A = this chain, B = another copy of it.
Amino acid sequence: MPEKFVSERNIKFMLYEVFDAEALTRYEYYAEHGREIFDLVLDTALKMGRDILQPLLREMDQNPPQFVNGAVKVHPMVRDWMRTCGEGGWISALAPYEYGGQQLPLLIGAVTRFIFSAANYSASVYPLLTAGAAHLIESFAAQELKDLYIPKMYAGEWQGTMALTEPQAGSSLSDLSTLAEPTDQGYYLLRGQKIFISASDHDGVDNIVNLLLARIKGAPSGVKGISLFVAPKFRPEADGSLTANDIQVAGSFHKLGYRGSPICQLSLGENSGCRGFLVGEPHQGLAYMFQMMNEARIDVGMSAAAIASAAYCASLQYAKERPQGRRLTSKDPTLPPVPIIEHADVKRMLLFQRAVVEGSFSLLLQCTVYADRARVLSGDDKEKNELLLDLLTPVAKTYPSEMGVLSVSQGLQILGGYGYCDEFPLELFYRDARIHPIHEGTTGIHGLDLLGRKMVMKGGKAAQLYLQEVEKTISLAREVSVLAPYAGRLQEALGKLREVTARLVQLSQEKGPEYFLADATLYLELFGIIAVGWQWLVQASVVQKTLKKGPSGEERNFYQGKLQTFFYFFHYELPKIEGLARRLLEGDGLTVETKPEMFE
């Protein structure tokens, strides 16, 4: 295994130099924290990644979950890992003190997730899902449910899940059909199927707590008739014992990657004994679930960036160590070969990897800063941060996911034939990374979300706020001579985004939603490139200030490498918007007008 999976230097740069994590401690909610605690958390997370997670990466991949006698067996590390996370307070880290949490800034939590996912994505999922599910109970459930479930979940003894998808519905949540029949006992009887539910059965915990969407009998059709339930695998009884809750596991899928964690199909209430416990009000389930979904979307983006980070570290190490060929200016075959990192094309691939990894990471942390501010501010300030987070969530989920796949692929390419073989971890990262454009909403769904909902919500208020944020960065960069031309390029790109958006809104009015949204996926791609360009300009502005102070040695290399990657992004990645904008401005509805029978 490669020596590294994340750049610790970059993490600290982002946290303390770019996003000023310490500033958060000025808010009362985070007042008990400080840089020392943050550093301790990071150091511990890095140590756990190195000592516990990374060493089991290949082994968990090669020993995927087994379905035996109707139950899923996972690698024995899962039980230890969940308890370690429980005992160390990692599952409850972001929760308020009143729930036994540590009230850690989301920004710090996000970085620990990045570290864990980079070390071993599959393993990182178990505590992460549990934290999200517990947070959902915390936010919306009655006290009784909170008392019953949260402590066990935060202790890592019970697994939390997010049970949305059904076999017949897929991305179409309005077609969810799991039925919840009311009883006079205070619970509902559930009946239905759930599919592709991560960690929804395994022997690494004593119980599974499914946070599950279902439709109360007689509820309206569509998304307005969906309610949220707690549907445990075992019901905790008053005496502390557990009773089976009639949830059958129909099997664990064999997957391309992400093999250290099971995803299962569940069958609820085959024997009419599956009890579900309503969370909050009836028919409000989707609104509640969006809390967990939105958190999970940022988490998916973060995990995608994390896998890409691990791949970058692996291919960088290889490129430094592998001698092959000579510089084009000295082809004398009697000279010794140079490390392949000397070749321009290899440097290009490494710069691409780094640009994606650190650009994605930056955008995701930016979102987390908005989330932290929304948590501690109120009134207009809170709303502003919420709107920015809402707008950017589909982007922060998708750019790292889609570009992460390409970035890992370039990493594999750097190793050539070795990258294709399992002596190196690139082929594993390549398989793991491919899940991210699919789960927590496919890329197509996020395109529709960004253009069809987020850009137009509240009269375009979020979009306006976002443009102001980017303009602010541009204005500041214009003052710095090295950055000014790049500020100009980003301004130009923003002009393209405005032009495309206006054209599409016009198309919507002229020709309706199908034409408006036909190329929403391309719009999302265009938007994502510009958003990450913005984040690179944010980083470069910080770098320029520090470089003026004349750092030396490794520090100087770090800042100059940052700047070089920023240049790379603006010279190689940002120009990709040209072709996208050209297409998006056409608005001819080519795909809408393509008839299914035209495909053989």
For window 116-174 of chain A, which residues contact chain B by CB distance below 8 Å?
165, 168-172, 174
A334 with B221: in contact, given A348-B521, A420-B256, A579-B579 (CB under 8 Å)? Answer: yes
Q: Chain B: which residue is nearest A576 at the CB level?
A: B579
Report the Cα distance A263→B557, complex, angstroms: 40
Closest to A253 in B: B421
A447 interface residue per 8 A CB criterion: yes
Asked if A458 is at the interface of the complex by the 8 Å CB criterion, the answer is no
- Bound-state CA distance A512–B325 (Å) is 18
How far, in Å, is A253 (CB) from chain B's closest CB?
Answer: 4
Q: Which residues of B contact A571 (CB under 8 A)?
A: 583, 586, 588, 590
- The verdict on A344 contacting chain B, using a C-beta distance below 8 Å, is yes
CB distance from A362 to the nearest CB of B (A): 16
A479 to chain B, nearest CB (A): 23
For chain A, residues 346 to 376, give those with C-beta under 8 angstroms from any C-beta of chain B: 346-348, 350-351, 354
Q: Which of A14-22, A91-99, A101-109, A411-419 contacts B (4 or more CB under 8 A)?
A: A411-419
Least distance between A517 CB and chain B CB atoms (Å): 6
Most chain B CB within 10 A, of A169, A170, A588, is at A170
Contact of A594 with B170 in the complex, beta carbons under 8 Å = no
Q: Which residues of B contact A284 (CB under 8 A)?
A: none
User: How far is B348's CA from A567's CA once the two chains are assembled, in angstroms?
Assistant: 32
Pick the contact of A195 from B168, B323, B417, B439 — CB < 8 Å? B417
A333 in the interface, Cβ–Cβ < 8 Å?
yes
Residue of B whose beta carbon sits closest to that of A565: B598
- Seed contacts A329-B514, A345-B444, A561-B598; 12 additional CB < 8 Å A-B pairs: A172-B337, A174-B331, A196-B417, A320-B599, A345-B447, A345-B520, A348-B519, A351-B594, A416-B442, A420-B435, A572-B583, A578-B579
28 contacts between A and B (CB under 8 A): A7-B600, A9-B600, A170-B322, A172-B324, A172-B326, A175-B324, A222-B333, A254-B422, A256-B421, A256-B427, A256-B430, A316-B600, A327-B514, A341-B599, A344-B517, A344-B591, A345-B448, A345-B591, A348-B521, A405-B409, A413-B437, A417-B438, A430-B434, A557-B600, A567-B590, A571-B586, A576-B576, A578-B582
